[in-house]
């Protein structure tokens, strides 16, 4: 695992974006996993700037979103799918036919998860997964203690995540307590990010569950 410590938010966002851009340039048809959250917002702004000023080309990538709240989908602005679309997918030249979401409004979420794993397998696996690492070290909806061999599945949403999303959903009561999430095993290689106060502690909590091909950025 390669850990890179940056000194300020702008540098942090830029270094993360450069790692992702290098992957896209080296393999234009990369299969990428995308996460939402406060940490990744600045990274996506940098990727958008690279697309506009440097011609970073997203047209051949295949994208898989990392997780989703049960019952929330593209028509809900608080959903991961809607936020990912607003922050990046709709603003670059990504092919809509190559963007994959988990439909958490479907009646059988276990089937949604197994089908999602199969789509990832058919795409050749994730080349690079973009992650934000939670304050307690959680990765997607995988809380500390989630098994390394876990795959995409239905999970309980952690209380810290519920509290952090209360304003976005309108109230604490409206935040879904279930979600669908890629597992630790599904992500072969990732760029993990944790910015701000507590970044080192969160990163430390996540390290033992990280895949070996991992580059993690944290802010002082």
75 an active-site residue?
no
Q: Structurally, how many domains does the chain consist of?
A: 1
Catalytic residue, candidates 19, 46, 138, 142: 138
Q: 105: which residues sit within 8 A by CB, 6+ positions away?
A: 71, 72, 73
Based on the residue annotation, tell me whether 136 is a catalytic residue of this protein.
yes
**pLDDT at 124 (0 to 100):** 95
Q: Is 146 left (phi over 0), alpha (psi -120 to 50) or beta?
A: beta
Containing domain of residue 120, as a range? 2-219
pLDDT at 148: 76
Quick one: which of 179, 217, 176 has its CA closest to 199?
217
Catalytic residue among 115, 136, 188, 200: 136
**pLDDT digit string (tens) for 54-84?**
999 999 999 999 999 999 989 999 999 999 9
Give yes or no: 138 in active site. yes
User: Which residue among 19, 46, 127, 143 is the active-site one?
Assistant: 143
Give pLDDT < 70 ranges for the chain. 1-4, 135-137, 187-220
User: What is the four-CA torsion angle of 64, 124, 22, 28, rounded to 10 degrees?
Assistant: -90
Question: Catalytic pick from 19, 67, 68, 127?
Answer: 67
pLDDT recorded at residue 56: 98
β-pairing, 189-194 with 31-34? unpaired
Q: What is the CATH number of the domain that holds 213?
A: 3.40.50.1360
* Confidence (pLDDT) at 210: 53
**7 flagged as catalytic:** no
């Amino acid at each position: 695992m390669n850990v890179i410590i940056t000194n300020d938010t702008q540098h942090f966002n830029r270094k993360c974006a450069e790692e992702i851009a290098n992957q896209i340039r080296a393999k234009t048809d990369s299969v990428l996993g995308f996460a939402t959250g406060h940490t990744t917002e600045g990274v996506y702004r940098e990727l958008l700037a690279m697309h506009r000023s440097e011609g970073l080309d997203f047209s051949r990538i295949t994208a898989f979103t990392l997780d989703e709240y049960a019952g929330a989908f593209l028509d809900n602005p608080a959903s991961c799918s809607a936020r990912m679309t607003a922050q990046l997918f709709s603003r670059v030249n990504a092919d809509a036919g190559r963007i994959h979401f988990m439909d958490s409004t479907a009646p059988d979420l276990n089937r949604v998860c197994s089908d999602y794993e199969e789509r990832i397998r058919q795409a050749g696996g994730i080349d690079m997964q973009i992650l934000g690492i939670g304050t307690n070290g959680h990765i997607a909806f995988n809380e500390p203690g989630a098994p390394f061999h876990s795959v995409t599945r239905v999970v309980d949403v952690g209380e810290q995540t519920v509290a952090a999303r209360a304003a976005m959903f309108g109230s604490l009561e409206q935040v879904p307590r279930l979600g669908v999430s890629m597992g630790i095993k599904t992500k072969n290689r990732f760029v993990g990010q944790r910015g701000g106060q507590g970044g080192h502690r969160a990163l430390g909590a996540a390290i033992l569950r990280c895949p070996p091909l991992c580059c993690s950025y944290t802010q002082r």
